[in-house]
A and B are shown apart, each in its own frame.
Chain A
Amino acid sequence: MILLEERNRILEETFRERFSRPVEEAERIFLTLHDFDGVSYLVETKESKSIVLFSMSMKCYPELRQYGADNVLFREYGSLFQAAPEPGFEVTLRIDEAALAGQNTEELVKKLALLKRNALAAPFEAAFYAQSQGQQTNIMTVNYRDQEAIYIMGFPDRVTVIFSTVFKEEADQIFGRVFLQEFVDARRQPAIQNAPQVLYSAREPPLELRGLRLSDAENIGYVTFVLFPRHFTPGPIREETISRIQLFRDYLHYHIKASKAYMHSRMRARVESFLKVLNRAKPEKPEDQKEKKTMAGKTFKR
């Protein structure tokens, strides 16, 4: 499993299971779960057993709302989208199972699992739209994690997406550097020459962000993706690109940690083999309780 999925499997399966049962058999549900980047969901039946309130808590949602997230969600979920979210959450969808009865719910199930992705898509769509009009946008900042952010800027001929990412340990930093260097170099391969250009800067924020006075601490890295119009032609390509880009930071850190785990298991195996070699140096101990026989024929254990 090299690539991360943009839909939340647990949500998808929960909803699919729920909608596949007839409305009369609906039961109460109170499910909390977490997703990448500190996002958490709550699926509960408050008012009645057949009305499901699906809420998402996303700290950066106020910023996303600035970039039109409410419109995006309204477009995707229509009347399910509630103007006033539940207390403690930023987005709520109200699903009336009675109204769904008889319809094909598979589409809806898939859409519900993409709630986080759709919310985060707003600034990307704004930037793509501006580019298609030949305009330039301001820097759109999304502080989606504690010390990390995504910066999106639309230019007349391209869209730039910059990730700032923090490496908590020194080992992470060094592994991260190796991985990101490969990202930068990967375009040499003929097969992926059409992929977006990736630039990496270890401590210095890139030129576009100089105005924001960002941190340049030892453990911070900035990764820039340059997207050209062919990467976000309207339709499935645009949707795919938005989903992939959002997951970049989690993808990177997941693989860094997986590499570390692999290194550890390798070292453990190597240590075992050293131990075996060393034990060869010890002469065999006489077996305890070896049976011995005397001349007269009596046997005893010593």
Chain B
Amino acid sequence: MCLENFSSQVVERHNKPEIEAQTTKEALLTPVQISRNENEKVLVEPSINSIRISIKIKQADDLERILCATFTRFLMMRAENFVVLRRKAIKGYDISFLITNFHTEQMYKHKLVDFIIQFMEEVDKEISEMKLSINARARIVAESYLQQFS
């Protein structure tokens, strides 16, 4: 994650994350996609002053899909607090991060990387936990109701 300051070459006195603006092709580096399988992948798009990381979270069935969608919506609504989160995910992915040189100047780089990795692990864990708790709850609800009839 070697990001340096880079003023916009298109508009004077502007400083944009080049990966978002995509105006000067020579400032962009090759994107890398790392996928475990069709349903889980990470896309890393670097440029000279910013880097965009998009994650597609594993969603096996309807319930996980809904949980994932709600969860990412929660996070993206609070993108201001998160600073490095992007408000909208890239098409084909569930959530995206945008890290600019300003962020790396203000925060420790290795901690940022730690954060992203921990995020990926925790999201999967959280969604599985929520799914388990819903199933357990459903079982209890059904049992309580039907037990009244015995």
**Residues of chain A having any CB pair with chain B under 8 Å:** 2-3, 170-171, 174-175, 177-179, 181-183, 185-187, 189, 191-192, 194-196, 198, 231, 240-241, 244, 248, 251, 255, 259, 262-264, 266-268, 270-271, 273-275, 277-278, 280-283
Q: Does B134 contact A (CB under 8 A)?
A: yes
Verify B142–A281 contact, CB threshold 8 A: no
Complex interface: chain A residues within 8 A of B122 (CB): 270, 273-274
A235 to chain B, nearest CB (A): 15
Q: Which of B1-9, B32-40, B44-52, B81-89 binds A?
A: B81-89
Verify A3–B107 contact, CB threshold 8 A: no
Verify A280–B111 contact, CB threshold 8 A: yes
Besides A179-B142, A187-B146, 7 other A-B contacts (C-beta < 8 A): A186-B139, A186-B143, A267-B71, A271-B74, A274-B75, A280-B115, A283-B108
Q: Does B150 contact A (CB under 8 A)?
A: yes
Complex interface: chain A residues within 8 A of B78 (CB): 271, 275
Q: Which of B94-149 contact A (CB under 8 A)?
A: 106-108, 111-112, 114-115, 118-119, 122, 126, 130, 133-135, 137-149
With A275-B81, A277-B115, A282-B106 in contact, do A267 and B70 touch (Cβ < 8 Å)? yes
**Residues of chain B having any CB pair with chain A under 8 Å:** 62-63, 66-67, 70-71, 74-75, 78, 81-84, 106-108, 111-112, 114-115, 118-119, 122, 126, 130, 133-135, 137-150
Which of chain A's residues has its CB closest to B64's CB?
A: A174
With A271-B78, A278-B82, A282-B107 in contact, do A182 and B144 touch (Cβ < 8 Å)? no
Which are the 6 A-B pairs with shortest beta-carbon distances?
Answer: A281-B111, A195-B146, A182-B138, A182-B142, A186-B142, A281-B107
A252–B67 Cα gap in the complex (Å)? 19
B139 to chain A, nearest CB (A): 5
Which of chain B's residues has its CB closest to A282's CB?
A: B107
Verify B141–A278 contact, CB threshold 8 A: no
A101–B81 Cα gap in the complex (Å)? 66
Verify A195–B135 contact, CB threshold 8 A: no
A160 to chain B, nearest CB (A): 15
Complex interface: chain A residues within 8 A of B108 (CB): 281-283
Verify B147–A192 contact, CB threshold 8 A: yes
A2–B139 Cα gap in the complex (Å)? 12
Complex interface: chain B residues within 8 A of A185 (CB): 142
A182–B118 Cα gap in the complex (Å)? 34
A275–B150 Cα gap in the complex (Å)? 49
Complex interface: chain B residues within 8 A of A277 (CB): 114-115, 118-119
A149 to chain B, nearest CB (A): 20
A sample of 19 inter-chain contacts (CB < 8 A) reads A2-B140, A3-B148, A178-B63, A179-B141, A182-B135, A194-B150, A195-B146, A195-B147, A195-B149, A196-B149, A255-B141, A263-B67, A264-B70, A277-B114, A281-B107, A281-B114, A281-B115, A282-B107, A283-B107
